[in-house]
């Protein structure tokens, strides 16, 4: 793999969006990172180029057999002008896990992280610093070989694009309404639910559309075999605080091992709050509610950060959690996590990775 990272300058820089109107994933910066793979050269030709449309052959295998994976991580600007990322090495590792599952050649994680840091450094002026904003980093890989036989492709492209973003669900800390899905499933054990394939998200759209038409923001997926055990939300992992203890579904091969999920578990343990990874059924969640023990429900994800859940609808049984208010633990986790990410608080786990120091 070439260790050089090329650079192609763009002539005219874009106008930056109003930070108040960022939303999620709508704006893209001036540059992107591109790398190619072929059998002769391996991953090669890393370059930072102007953000622009790309051309693909209509027979590019990604269109037909769907070898496409992605990651999501964020860069933050701290008050003293440090640009830093949050646990990026976890995303590099998960990218390779996704590659492995879809027979995409492995990438040098150290080199990719170095190239991403260089891209973020190039775009440091795009890292927003308003409360609740960050520069969302989206690496993705897809097969480009023009061929129609079903087998792993022999040519791929890796790209990294950057998007200055705010909250994923409108107002960050307003509790969201979630629909427990019983008809459709997201993932099966032995399938691809534990990695970040584009197809996982395509498969979720139908149920998502139906839930939205009923006024729900997201789906809570159950296991595909028994339609009983809670898995994840799709855009985030899920946590329940029941009688003082925080429980999250145990990774089982069909749940995405979220970086924020792992950070929440570590933070709670560090604070001495009881936390457990376990197989938990939706029935248990509703029973806890009936007993008055379901104290909080929240999601955790890179895009979603910590997102309180105010309502669950399971087959017409509707429960309102914590009076549709953000709970104490959800608020504390949100505050602590964002304070660490923004360098406002000590980082006892060494989660943040400094990229650059800019003038303030
Ligand atoms: C992320 O949290 O980074 C994700 O990839 C979830 C995506 C659906 C926005």
Q: How crowded is residue 87: how many other Cβ atoms within 10 Å of its Cβ? A: 21
For ligand 1, the distance from its centroid to the CA atom of residue 41, given in whole angstroms, is 31
Q: Which of 71, 203, 262, 304 maximizes ligand 1 atoms within 8 Å of its Cβ, making it the mutation to test the pocket?
A: 304
Position 358 confidence tier, pLDDT thresholds 50, 70, 90 = confident
pLDDT digits (tens, 9 = 90+) for 202-248: 999 999 999 999 999 999 999 999 999 999 998 999 999 999 999 99
Helix 109-122, helix 88-101: angle, nearest 10: 130
Nearest atom of ligand 1 to the alpha carbon of 260: 2
245 C-alpha to center of ligand 1: Å? 26
Output the pTM of the full model. 0.96
Catalogue all structural domains in the chain, each as residue range(s) with its CATH number.
6-165 (3.30.470.10), 176-326 (3.20.10.10)
pLDDT band at 98 (very low <50, low <70, confident <90, very high): very high
Ligand 1 pocket: which of 25, 68, 72 to mutate (most atoms <8 Å of CB)?
72
Considering the chain, what is the average pLDDT of its residues? 96
Tell me how far the alpha carbon of residue 201 lies from the centroid of ligand 1, in angstroms.
10
69-96 pLDDT tens trace? 999 999 999 999 999 999 999 999 999 9
Nearest ligand 1 atom to alpha carbon 70: 5
Q: ∠ CA 75-76-79 to the nearest 5 degrees? A: 160
pLDDT-based confidence at 319, cuts 50/70/90? very high
pLDDT confidence of 173, banded at 50, 70, 90?
A: confident
The closest-lying atom of ligand 1 relative to the alpha carbon of residue 303 is 2
User: Residue with the nearest Cα to atom 5 of ligand 1?
Assistant: 72
Q: CA torsion angle for 164, 170, 174, 177 (degrees, to 10)?
A: -130
Give yes or no for a contact between 356 and 329, defined as CB atoms under 8 angstroms apart: no
Percent of the chain with pLDDT over 70: 99
Could you give the CA distance from residue 61 to residue 283 in angstroms, rounded to a whole number? 42
pLDDT digits (tens, 9 = 90+) for 179-213: 999 999 999 999 999 999 999 999 999 999 999 99
Q: Phi, psi (5° rounding) for residue 264?
A: -65, -45
Residue range 28-74, pLDDT digits in tens:
999 999 999 999 999 999 999 999 999 999 999 999 999 999 999 99
Å from CA of 25 to ligand 1 middle: 10
The rounded Å distance from CA 322 to ligand 1 centre is: 26
Between 88-101 and 259-271, two packed helices, what is the crossing angle to 10 degrees? Answer: 130
The answer to whether 74 touches 134, Cβ cutoff 8 Å, is: yes
Would you place residue 280 in the very low, low, confident or very high pLDDT band (cuts 50, 70, 90)? Answer: very high
- Ligand 1: distance of its center to the CA of 258 in Å? 10
Residues within 6 Å of ligand 1 by CB: 72, 235, 301-303
Q: What is the pLDDT of residue 64?
A: 98
């Amino acid at each position: 793999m070439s260790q050089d990272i090329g650079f192609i300058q763009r002539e005219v820089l874009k106008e930056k969006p109003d930070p108040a109107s960022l939303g999620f994933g709508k704006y893209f910066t001036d540059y992107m990172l591109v790398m190619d793979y072929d059998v002769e050269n391996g991953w090669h030709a890393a370059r930072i180029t102007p953000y622009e449309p790309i051309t693909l052959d209509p027979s590019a295998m990604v269109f037909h057999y769907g070898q496409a994976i992605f990651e999501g991580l964020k860069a933050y600007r701290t008050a003293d002008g440090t640009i830093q990322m949050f646990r990026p090495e976890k995303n590099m590792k998960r990218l390779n896990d996704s590659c492995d599952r879809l027979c995409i050649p492995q990438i040098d994680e150290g080199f990719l992280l170095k190239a991403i840091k260089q891209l973020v450094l190039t775009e440091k002026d795009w890292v927003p610093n308003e409360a609740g904003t960050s520069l969302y980093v989206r690496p993705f890989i897809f097969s480009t070989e023009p061929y129609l036989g079903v087998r792993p492709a022999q040519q791929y492209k890796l790209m990294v694009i950057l998007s200055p973003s705010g909250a994923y669900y409108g107002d960050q800390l307003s509790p969201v309404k979630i629909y427990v899905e019983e008809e459709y499933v997201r993932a099966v054990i032995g399938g691809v639910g534990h990695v970040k394939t584009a197809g996982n998200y395509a498969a979720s759209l139908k149920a998502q559309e139906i839930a939205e038409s009923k006024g729900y923001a997201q789906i809570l997926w159950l296991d595909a075999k028994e339609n009983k055990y809670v898995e994840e939300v799709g855009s985030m992992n899920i946590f329940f605080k029941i009688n003082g203890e925080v429980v999250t579904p145990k990774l089982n091969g069909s749940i995405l091992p979220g970086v924020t999920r792992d950070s929440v578990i570590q933070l709670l343990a560090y604070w001495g709050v009881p936390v457990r990874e376990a197989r938990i059924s939706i029935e248990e969640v509703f029973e806890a509610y009936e007993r008055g023990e379901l104290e909080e429900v929240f999601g955790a994800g890179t895009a979603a950060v910590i997102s309180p859940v105010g309502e669950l609808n399971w087959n017409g049984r509707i429960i309102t959690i914590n009076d549709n208010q953000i709970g104490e633990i959800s608020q504390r986790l949100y505050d602590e996590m964002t304070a660490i990410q923004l360098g406002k608080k000590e980082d006892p786990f060494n989660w943040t990775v400094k990229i650059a120091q800019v003038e303030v």
